[in-house]
Structure 1
Amino acid sequence: MSQLPQLKSSPVNNKKSSTERFSTATRTVPANEDYIQLIKEMRSQFVGPMPPNTFLRTFMPKSEGNRLPKGYHALFADLKIEKGFEKNFIQAVRESGLCSGLLFVDTNDQVDGNFNRKPGICVYKSDHEWAKTNFPLMEFHIERKPDSYDPFHDPPQDMKRSLREKYPFEHNTVNGDHSREQISSYAASQFSVQSRAFTFSLLFVGKFVRFIRWDRAGAVVTSRIDWREKPWCLASFLWRFGHSSDNDRGYDTSVSIPTQDEILRTKAALRQRAIDVAVAQGGSEKDILTSIYSSDDTFRKFRVVDDGPDRQEHFFVASVPQWYTSSPTGRGTKGYEALDVATGKMVYLKDTWRYVALGFEKEGDTYRLLEEKKVQRIPHRVCSGDIEGQETRTHEFIKQKWCCRVVIQRHHHYRLVLGDLGRPLSQYTSTKELSQVMLDTIEAHQQAFNAGVLHQDISGGNILITDDGRGLLIDWDLSRRTELAVPAARLKSRTGTWQFMACARLLDPGNKTHEFWHDLESFFHVFLYYTILYQASRISIKDRLTILTQMEQYFDSSINRLDASDSGGKTKLNFFQPFATDFQESDLSKFLHETTLGTIFDLRDLFVPLYAVRRAMTNFRNMDAFLPSLQEARDRLKCSKPLTDILKSRLQGQGWTDDRSDGLFGKPPVQKKIKRPAKRKGKDTDLDNKPDQKKKKSRVSQDASEIVVSSLVLDIFNP
């Protein structure tokens, strides 16, 4: 077994994929801001410039006996590129016979409404008669840009290796950044709706073309090819792709189409699951959606070979994921409620690309350990294992002499199946139930720590509510074994979900070891987030907007630093001062009852001594009398007992009310707007072609209709 690599950098920044699910933003993010975010998170993840022949030989091996058809030289040489490139190129490819089994479609003006994206040319299998952009069906995309929009910058061929390691292959200009984000967004869209290990694309820039291969570690990009002087190179790409198998095109062959009987069984199980959730919330069958699954063609059968000694094979059927990430790189996690074909039981299937680095354990192995140690309030592991042959390859080339400066993480495709289901934390029926769930999961966290495992990613998405109103703590893939020696980079890697990360970790990224009390603070941020966001329905529009603004500053604010990392947490720091100005009791008491309010501030007081700016309090007499020393505060939070004592005391007390009746069945009274790019309404607003378009001014309307009331029901298929 090869030695595992060390972590190159922190696996978590303020990434789009990990933040938008819990964003509290009260405005719709324009497309150009969405572009900026993707440019930032894709920085240094393009490996190149790989020689074109090496690319073809490595990723697109030719089949024996398959020879290029004749006549393509003249077709490519005569192709006009100044105007109507897409139509001219499609005609040339069709007449050449290079890709007889594929359909090339000019989609330059045909946007996919689900993503607001439109590559210049989309390529489909010939049995799909599709006239516009359709990311679920797309084989690969082709984009064309003027020469000045090239997102990459090839170094001189004679540049020494030592200089190449410092050379920025990415062309960091306004036009280059825009093109790079654009093609990255196409890959991200394709990955999000297809079962894929990798995908390809072509990028034409002026009279040149680049070949690109994308996977969850990054992208391998070739040097520029003058495709009219060397038409055989482009022809070879098209010919080899057209004659390749689904596996060689990047499809995940461990996913297949279920039988009609399996689809019907899964539909029935999904419906019964929705009824069970509704009843658990005090409702009935009439409260669920008419259809709680998507159309038949979205159902897929997933194969999982357990990595236990018996290597048992399991199959599960699911429709669209409950949630998925929208970044082209990283873990790319998708979560499904699925039917176990063998047992007929509903399970939770997690499809992810796990980190392959020192200090990162397989999540299934962590569940095994926790079960052996009899840790309570965690789901039962059904099976788990790597998907054979599906590991990222981008990292393989970072030591090649042609490679420029990059930061690449290695990933392996992995599935985990859990036997216990729960509803999202957003569907709590009362703040008393929410408090009980928090107590359960904090106790589970402590038991796991006693067993030698620190979670390191406490968030609203990693806590579930069972049908009997208790808590489950899930998602242990970023956890750390406390007794194992791991590299300093792993200890200081900033894992977690941005909105819920400890203030200390946000303020000083990459320089502090993740400690036990950081997770305890994250539990507090989760409790604060869900009590405020889902309870602020009883106050005026003006007060509600004030609260939402404070929430955005508290949970979402970030600053991009010169070293490309993100920092934040200043509003959290202010809240942990003895005389905080945000989230004052007088404001929160307008919509939170006394017991919930007391719980919030009792928990907050545990962290105030850790962050209090004591020099600013020298003018206040007897301040130390009620504020413990920093060391006392740290010692107190070496275990979770202070938090659990507060929650137990409050839960045993009186004064709890049914304060979530208007928010039952996944209909929170206050909800964020979904962060999507602004829809295009014509050429004047086409941000695919105008990277420097001015940002739209955000506004917050005083009209009550602008307060978004969520229409989500059961949160089954929406993050």
Structure 2
Amino acid sequence: MSHKLLGLPYDEWIDAFLPMDDSEVDYMQYNRLFDGVVVDGKESDMYEPLVNALNGTDILGDFVLAETYARYDKSDKDKKKADGGMYPKGSSAIEQKRTDWATVEVFIECKTNDSGDPYDESTLSGIPYAETRRDALGQITTYASTVFEYQHLTHHFGVVVLGSQARLGRWDHSGIVFSYKFDYKEEPAKLARFFWRVAHATPEARGHDFTATRILPGSADYKTLEAWKAKELADDDYVARRFIKSLTEHRPWWRLTVADSKHGKKDFLVGQPTFAASGVVGRCTRGYIALSVSSGHGDSPFVYLKDCWRVVHERSELEGDILSYLNGKGVANIPTALYHGDVEDHRTISQDFCKCAKAGCVSEVVEGTEDHVVEQDEKEKSPVEEWAQASDENLGKVSGGTWEATGAISSGPNYQSRESQYEERSNDLRTDAVAGNLPALRCRMKAHRHYRLVVEEVGLPLQEFPCGRILVWAIRDAVIAHQDAYTKARVMHRDISVGNILIIPPNSKNKKATHQGLLADWELSKRLDDYAAGARHPDRTGTWQFMSVHIQDFPEAQVEIADELESFLHVMIYCAIRYLPHTCEDVGDFMYHFFDDGVRQGNAGYTCGALKRMVVDTGILKTLSNWPVTFLRRPRAPDPKPRNPLERPLEVSTKDMHPINGVIMTPLLQCITARYRLLYPQPRNDEGSGVKELLASCNGSDDDEPSNGNEDPLGAQNKLKSQSKKIETHKYMIKLLSTASDANAHLWPGPEDRLADQLDPTFHPDKQKKIREQRAAPAAKPGPQPASKRPRSTTPTADSGEQQLASKRLRGSASRA
């Protein structure tokens, strides 16, 4: 969220976002409208007087304010409750005094004083320093995110009441523009004017998307969907069954229009999204299994519809055009594009105000010291990603980046001391900016356009793989798709992640003999011919959790085949750790440190986390405590007493080892490790390097002779080159995965190796077990974002010498890279 917030004076704000002629309204009659609002008591004392004051006038027209603080939306699993909101007359929220995210027009949050103020126009990032204020920003960000998930909006309004003062806010997918504080008791016309204008504005001005029509009971579309719910379906008709499951009574149903330049407008009926990225700022992708009510798209009435906000750039291609190009080139194992197009003239406008802001304003950044932030499309949110998202939204201890980016900032456990450092650095920055002593400034907000894409295939998430062999098979198919795109179409995907690989199971309708993997989401792909033109965005491109170590460390580097193959391996590890039996004692700790963690490197931004670096450096999948992770054919019997995660894991016999160990450890991971040995050579006296162990295990193909560990330096170098060369193309990895999952299918266990998710949904790195607190400083909250991911640094724990050495080696090679 850092640098996605912008403050404007009240008059500028109201005229920019609700430019209406209200000259005939006599606001003088409301001079004492809010005198009855209690500002020196409890928060709950404010709700009723505020609501009654506005409901007792003719300001709201066809709307009513409702108190909703006591009861949460029935369909909201997180049980969030906004203090109040403006709802259309007749909404159940009014009578039940219950938050209803599907119909709220303006949410209202009340605080007794400005210690809960979520905005701060005096900071360069727009984010306040105090923890309580950051928590308040996280709270209202969660509200806004939920409203966008339940409704189809281009933007949304919110009001924050702070005792006798108030702020207005407008949220879109570029950022948040908030008003300066005003005293609504002294100047009641300001708050009255806002509610009059928003209540009398057109639906489009209030943010409603007129290409999305809500399906109401009794309508023809409603009857069509009810008829589908009553149908008898084949047991293997997973698409229709999932579509019907999305038609929950607690979430709105919609008719969505997709305008295609070649095929015209096509309409689709949808229920609850099968996937919805949390957050507000960014692409905010939602995916639907959709029922086509327009003819001419194929045999099945069901398709997959992607609704997102794409980043606008002169060299960016529409995903539908990319897919159509790849389809035309015969690329295998990718979705088939049907229709796509921008949605009317829907675009974000927050960035327009940012660009014209004065030097030193809240949403401008010093050029050259800006963090490199992941351009992340949050597609498949794991519980780890969800708490990472929540951590950055809550912002209680997240630094915001800019203050650290301009120089070294202490990251010790004393938050108050960090806060004072941020404030001091911020004041210096503002003074220099206003005085013209800083280089050119530019805005971080990005322009986004509303976009929809419809594809023919409806796949299952990779995480629903039925057994380990099919997991490897599906990833193999995705690597084949990547190879085809590279060789046949000269396109690099550049966003390999667990959410971008789908599984098509065989059934009576698709006539497939086995499962098929699909590589989807080509929005961030790039033509090889454009590589010479440089980066389209100043940020890393991809998904932080699955990036190669090289790309995490050097965001300006062009993504190579080896980086993408490494990402495929990270995807395999991600799924295997969560859903297959293994010896890892603490899944949450592993997931955080391997996938979400990052290390702050002064002005250079964030680099790879310690655990992922340690794994690729040694060629051994291990925990941060330096214990190897071994996958098992079946779960072990539970220990009679909980094991200390610092204890050595129990020995595993060969017959108990899962075949996926060979796929990951022999020799794919060693090939990746060999690449880094060549990219970042170590001193010869580096005893912790693991070079001998690596060379001794490099025996993964017929043309390799087992190593005795005594090679001379030239022989060792040649061995590393031989291993590294295998991942310069796709051939070796495809052969490895094919042999493991096909030719050696008889070696794999059956569905019994698939377990329920082993990641505790309540895990959070700030709430670790006492045993972990004995060996490490409190873990910092991660900062990956819905639109951007920026992991926080962490204090090295076990094997700190090895980790620091690897980190030093990689950082020292920046000039060579």
TM-score band, normalised by shorter chain: 0.7 to 0.9
Q: How far 1:659 moved relative to its partner?
A: 3.0
**Structure 2 counterpart of 1:531, from 568, 573, 576:** 576
Q: Is the 8 A contact 1:148 1:176 kept in 2?
A: yes
User: Match for residue 345 of structure 1?
Assistant: 301
Pick which of 454-463 and 117-126 moved more: 117-126
Change (3 A) 1:110 1:562: farther
Alpha-carbon distance between aligned partners in 1 of 2:294 and 2:621, rounded to the nearest angstrom: 57
Q: Is the 8 A contact 2:102 2:251 kept in 1?
A: no
Q: How far 1:551 moved relative to its partner?
A: 4.2
- Secondary structure of the equivalent of 2:530? coil
User: Match for residue 622 of structure 1?
Assistant: 711
Change (3 A) 1:262 1:119: closer
- Secondary structure of the equivalent of 1:118? coil
User: Match for residue 369 of structure 1?
Assistant: 325
Q: Does 1:356 align with 2:312?
A: yes
Change (3 A) 1:291 1:646: closer
Code of the residue aligned with 1:324 in structure 2: it is: A
Q: Is the 8 A contact 2:251 2:272 kept in 1?
A: no
Q: Is the 8 A contact 1:573 1:611 kept in 2?
A: no
Q: How far 1:422 moved relative to its partner?
A: 1.7
Q: How far 1:181 moved relative to its partner?
A: 1.9
User: Match for residue 640 of structure 1?
Assistant: 730
User: Match for residue 475 of structure 2?
Assistant: 438
Code of the residue aligned with 1:393 in structure 2: it is: I
**Structure 1 counterpart of 2:39, from 69, 81, 86:** 81
Equivalenced residue count is: 617
What are the Cα deviations for residues 186-220 of structure 1, in whole angstroms up to 9, with x where unaligned? Answer: 21121122111100011223432222110011111
Pairing 1:461-476 to 2, within 5 Å after superposition: 461-466=499-504, 467=506, 468=512, 469-476=515-522
- Secondary structure of the equivalent of 1:238? helix
Alpha-carbon distance between aligned partners in 2 of 1:564 and 1:46, rounded to the nearest angstrom: 23
Alpha-carbon distance between aligned partners in 2 of 1:633 and 1:662, rounded to the nearest angstrom: 34
Change (3 A) 1:263 1:585: farther
Code of the residue aligned with 1:118 in structure 2: it is: K
Change (3 A) 1:414 1:645: same
Pick which of 405-414 and 69-78 moved more: 69-78
User: Match for residue 102 of structure 2?
Assistant: 136
- Secondary structure of the equivalent of 2:342? strand
- Secondary structure of the equivalent of 2:573? helix
**Structure 2 counterpart of 1:208, from 155, 160, 165:** 165
Q: Does 1:599 align with 2:663?
A: yes
**Structure 1 counterpart of 2:55, from 78, 94, 105:** 94
Q: How far 1:332 moved relative to its partner?
A: 0.5
Alpha-carbon distance between aligned partners in 1 of 2:219 and 2:712, rounded to the nearest angstrom: 70
Any stretches of 5+ residues in structure 2 without a counterpart? 365-443, 507-511, 635-655, 693-708, 773-817
User: Match for residue 494 of structure 1?
Assistant: 540
Q: Does 1:329 align with 2:281?
A: yes
Alpha-carbon distance between aligned partners in 1 of 2:193 and 2:472, rounded to the nearest angstrom: 62
Q: Does 1:574 align with 2:614?
A: yes
Change (3 A) 1:148 1:260: closer
User: Match for residue 491 of structure 2?
Assistant: 453
Q: Does 1:611 align with 2:701?
A: no
User: Match for residue 394 of structure 1?
Assistant: 350
**Structure 2 counterpart of 1:225, from 166, 182, 191:** 182
Alpha-carbon distance between aligned partners in 2 of 1:546 and 1:401, rounded to the nearest angstrom: 48
Alpha-carbon distance between aligned partners in 2 of 1:378 and 1:696, rounded to the nearest angstrom: 41
User: Match for residue 117 of structure 2?
Assistant: 150
**Structure 2 counterpart of 1:196, from 153, 157, 161:** 153
User: Match for residue 630 of structure 2?
Assistant: 587
TM-score normalized with structure 1 length: 0.78
Change (3 A) 1:317 1:674: farther
Q: Is the 8 A contact 1:595 1:655 kept in 2?
A: no
What are the Cα deviations for residues 230-258 of structure 1, in whole angstroms up to 9, with x where unaligned? Answer: 32222111111111222111111111134
**Structure 2 counterpart of 1:104, from 52, 58, 65:** 65
Q: How far 1:492 moved relative to its partner?
A: 6.4
Alpha-carbon distance between aligned partners in 2 of 1:391 and 1:529, rounded to the nearest angstrom: 35
Change (3 A) 1:645 1:251: same
Q: Does 1:306 align with 2:349?
A: no
**Structure 2 counterpart of 1:57, from 6, 15, 21:** 15
Q: Is the 8 A contact 1:492 1:512 kept in 2?
A: no
User: Match for residue 9 of structure 1?
Assistant: none
Change (3 A) 1:272 1:498: farther
Higher RCO (Cα < 8 Å, 6 or more apart): 1
Q: How far 1:340 moved relative to its partner?
A: 1.0
What are the Cα deviations for residues 42-89 of structure 1, in whole angstroms up to 9, with x where unaligned? Answer: 1111112x1222222221122578624662112235644323222211
Q: Is the 8 A contact 1:367 1:381 kept in 2?
A: yes
Q: Is the 8 A contact 1:359 1:480 kept in 2?
A: no
Code of the residue aligned with 1:299 in structure 2: it is: W
Q: Is the 8 A contact 1:303 1:314 kept in 2?
A: yes
Change (3 A) 1:672 1:273: farther
Change (3 A) 1:582 1:90: same
Alpha-carbon distance between aligned partners in 2 of 1:128 and 1:474, rounded to the nearest angstrom: 39
User: Match for residue 194 of structure 2?
Assistant: 237
**Structure 1 counterpart of 2:88, from 108, 112, 125:** 125
Q: Is the 8 A contact 1:353 1:411 kept in 2?
A: yes
Alpha-carbon distance between aligned partners in 2 of 1:213 and 1:342, rounded to the nearest angstrom: 35
Alpha-carbon distance between aligned partners in 2 of 1:179 and 1:596, rounded to the nearest angstrom: 45
Pick which of 633-642 and 117-126 moved more: 633-642
Pairing 1:398-437 to 2, within 5 Å after superposition: 398-401=354-357, 403-406=361-364, 407-437=444-474
Change (3 A) 1:238 1:676: farther
Change (3 A) 1:253 1:563: farther
Q: Is the 8 A contact 2:243 2:289 kept in 1?
A: no
Q: How far 1:643 moved relative to its partner?
A: 0.7
Change (3 A) 1:676 1:609: closer
What are the Cα deviations for residues 268-314 of structure 1, in whole angstroms up to 9, with x where unaligned? Answer: 6689898565789xxxx9x9999564128632111000133x5x010
Code of the residue aligned with 2:517 in structure 1: it is: G
User: Match for residue 26 of structure 1?
Assistant: none
Over the aligned positions, Cα root-mean-square deviation in angstroms equals 3.4
Alpha-carbon distance between aligned partners in 2 of 1:188 and 1:676, rounded to the nearest angstrom: 22
- Secondary structure of the equivalent of 1:76? coil
Alpha-carbon distance between aligned partners in 1 of 2:322 and 2:147, rounded to the nearest angstrom: 31
Change (3 A) 1:480 1:633: farther
Q: Is the 8 A contact 1:360 1:479 kept in 2?
A: no
Pick which of 586-595 and 365-374 moved more: 586-595
Change (3 A) 1:96 1:64: closer
Code of the residue aligned with 1:454 in structure 2: it is: M
TM-score normalized with structure 2 length: 0.69
Pairing 1:143-292 to 2, within 5 Å after superposition: 143-145=109-111, 146-155=113-122, 167-258=124-215, 260-263=219-222, 265-266=224-225, 275=234, 277=236
**Structure 1 counterpart of 2:2, from 43, 48, 55:** 43
Change (3 A) 1:395 1:401: closer
Q: How far 1:101 moved relative to its partner?
A: 2.1
Q: Is the 8 A contact 2:312 2:449 kept in 1?
A: yes
